[in-house]
Structure 1
Amino acid sequence: MSTLSRRSFITASLGSAALLSLGLVGCADDSDDAGTTTSTASSSGSEENSVTSDPGVQSIVDRGTLKCGIKTDVPGFGYDDPSAGTYTGLEVDLCYAIAGKIFDMTADEAKSGKKVDFTGVTAKTRGPMLDSGELDVVAATYTITDERKESWNFSDPYYTDSIGMLVLKSSGMKTLDDLDGKIIGIAQGATTKDTLTQMLKDQGKENLNVTFQEFPDYPTLSAALSSNTIDVFSVDRSILRGYMDDTNELLCPDIIFGTQEYGIATNKNATELTKLVNDLVDEYKDNGELDKLLEAYGLQSA
């Protein structure tokens, strides 16, 4: 997986993407509508009935917008880009594509018609916001796990990632043994702690004295690393890439652990919406549109 700087992600343009139709080896030691379209008709009458028969989908049609939860601090996936004045990223475009399916239009038309209301979420808030009905879908680097599937529905995966550990170059940390006595910063509500603990056990390093400290979001974690408040910033590698610069680097990058798949989540009761979302993801994987988006945002699935 190639390493990209945060600047490269931030300067990535949504325009080109939006126009799409939418080993482990040893180491040394997520406004008003411009249009009035509310049709959910499709090329197949049976598909049309399937979509409109779902109270959840019909309520979205009646409302006129799809409520999507996204990350706003993960360049390449979901990012509130101040230079563009809008949200950019793979998951943002997937939300436009889902809205296009619901409102019988292209993803680009859904974007220009303001058919999506975006809300920033964190690992801690995204599940509860689905439960409360504040959100219809969540596309926010949401790892699919058996435990989470008991509470929410997930689409088939659209991205595969693994966990990484970002350290300052000036720290001199090079091996797993260098983690002894160190503070590892993680995001609230994430599965990183358990995954990293298991990796240390697998590597025979379970006796290392490691302390975990939780933070509410990734910019705060990045700032904590830069100020030496923490020694390690650990989260999905795709997220870390958006915060890499000349001052930091991955610790033991050749140790691949915590392999995980991202899916789009929906409320457990939203059966028809779940099917619509899953069909969209599968369609994008089959017709090459997902690969185009990954390339457009400089992403490479593991």
Structure 2
Amino acid sequence: MKKIIRYLGLLTSLCALVMILSSCGATTTKSQSVLSNAEKSNTIVWGVKADTKLFGLMDVNDSTIKGFDVDMAKALTKQILGPSGKASFIQVSSQTRIPLLKNGNIDAIIATMTITPERQKVVDFSDHYFNAGQSLMVKDGSSIKSVKDLNKTGTQVLAVTGANSVENFQKVAPKAKVLELQDYAQALQALKSGQGKALTTDNGILLGMAAENPGYKVVGGAFTKEPYGIAVNKGQKPFVNKINQAMVKLRENGEYDRIVRKWFGNISGFDYKEAEK
């Protein structure tokens, strides 16, 4: 009996120690300065998408992610850390980007992420760096001309889980049914196979898809305003300030305009001047 009591006491002590150490670790991680760590390592780790043409898409030829968000991250890194600063990239999706940020796997998210009040409760955002708006993509010859044509009972529309496009669409077309897919590649395939009448998300993303997939087009214009921001963990105000200051510099020196024109200047139907505002 004494041995059992001694064993239970030891086990309780060990459990308490584990909890204390875990708590300390969590506090330390939360209180760490992302900016200071980046300056010490001369590297900022960015979460970017790899399935979104124009913004972040994996190039199978050299296994690197390329796009507007990637180039913006590189330019911001140079502004924040100096000419020798390095931008490192980790692939994220709409579902994984915030968990990866919270776990400390990445320093910041630059991945077509719209600034919303709900997300601002969980992360802090930089000033917006791109003005997008939600729209629709349909197959050529479709009778769908605008979001109003989809507000019918039984009509199925495609969207991506974790993006705010589902909630936005349901506000303007409450009678329609939304089928949520895991990523844009699956959503596009579902549209091609006839599982939905249209695919809805930000117009910049859709225009990239349409440019890569002849026979599909973006219709109806934007029915929402979707300003993209860079997300960082709560409590990292100095880092947010540095990002905002860097964005101002990029606009002043013409680098921002160069990046916008590189990725969107030749995309039919895309108003890059509106995106710059």
TM-score tier, shorter chain, comes to: 0.7 to 0.9
Match of 2:112 in 1: 141
Q: Deviations over 1:72-110 (max 9, x none)?
A: 1122211212245422212112221232244322xxx54
Q: Deviations over 1:90-137 (max 9, x none)?
A: 2112221232244322xxx54xxxx22211111111111111111101
Paired with 1:191 and 1:96, the residues of 2 have a C-alpha distance of 26
Greater shift in the superposed pair: 65-74 or 166-175: 166-175
Q: Measure how far apart 1:173 and its partner are.
A: 3.1
Match of 2:207 in 1: 241
Residues 95 and 116, structure 1, Cα contact 8 Å, conserved in 2: yes
Match of 1:275 in 2: 241
Q: Measure how far apart 1:217 and its partner are.
A: 0.8
Greater shift in the superposed pair: 152-161 or 280-289: 280-289
Q: Return the letter of the residue paired with 2:229.
A: G
Paired with 1:257 and 1:178, the residues of 2 have a C-alpha distance of 13
Residues 57 and 102, structure 1, Cα contact 8 Å, conserved in 2: no
Paired with 2:73 and 2:203, the residues of 1 have a C-alpha distance of 22
Paired with 2:192 and 2:214, the residues of 1 have a C-alpha distance of 12
Match of 1:197 in 2: 170
Q: Measure how far apart 1:233 and its partner are.
A: 0.8
1:168 lines up with 2:134 in the alignment = no
1:182 lines up with 2:160 in the alignment = no
Q: Which residue, 53, 61, 69 being the options, matches 1:91? A: 69
DSSP 3-state at the match of 1:285: helix
Residues 70 and 140, structure 1, Cα contact 8 Å, conserved in 2: yes
Paired with 1:179 and 1:169, the residues of 2 have a C-alpha distance of 20
1:222 lines up with 2:193 in the alignment = no
Paired with 2:48 and 2:159, the residues of 1 have a C-alpha distance of 19
Q: Which residue, 51, 69, 73 being the options, matches 1:73? A: 51
TM-score by length of 1: 0.71
Residues 157 and 196, structure 2, Cα contact 8 Å, conserved in 1: yes
Match of 2:35 in 1: 57
Residues 186 and 213, structure 1, Cα contact 8 Å, conserved in 2: yes
Q: Return the letter of the residue paired with 1:134.
A: N
Paired with 2:198 and 2:255, the residues of 1 have a C-alpha distance of 35
Paired with 1:174 and 1:287, the residues of 2 have a C-alpha distance of 40
Q: Return the letter of the residue paired with 2:82.
A: D
Unaligned runs of 5+ in 2: 1-31, 266-271
Match of 1:154 in 2: 125
Q: Measure how far apart 1:214 and its partner are.
A: 0.9
Q: Measure how far apart 1:58 and its partner are.
A: 2.1
Paired with 1:292 and 1:117, the residues of 2 have a C-alpha distance of 22
Q: 1:225 to 1:55 in 2, by over 3 A?
A: same
Instruction: State percent identity of aligned pairs.
Output: 27
Higher helix share: 2
DSSP 3-state at the match of 1:258: coil
Residues 184 and 212, structure 1, Cα contact 8 Å, conserved in 2: yes
Residues 158 and 262, structure 1, Cα contact 8 Å, conserved in 2: yes
More RCO (CA 8 Å, sep 6+): 1
Q: Which residue, 207, 211, 225 being the options, matches 1:259? A: 225
Q: Return the letter of the residue paired with 1:246.
A: P
Paired with 2:79 and 2:253, the residues of 1 have a C-alpha distance of 16
Match of 1:291 in 2: 257
Paired with 2:145 and 2:104, the residues of 1 have a C-alpha distance of 45
TM-score by length of 2: 0.77
Superposition RMSD in Å: 2.0
Unaligned runs of 5+ in 1: 1-53, 201-205
Q: Return the letter of the residue paired with 1:150.
A: K
Residues 115 and 228, structure 2, Cα contact 8 Å, conserved in 1: yes
Paired with 1:286 and 1:277, the residues of 2 have a C-alpha distance of 14
Residues 152 and 266, structure 1, Cα contact 8 Å, conserved in 2: yes
Whose radius of gyration is greater, 1 or 2? 2
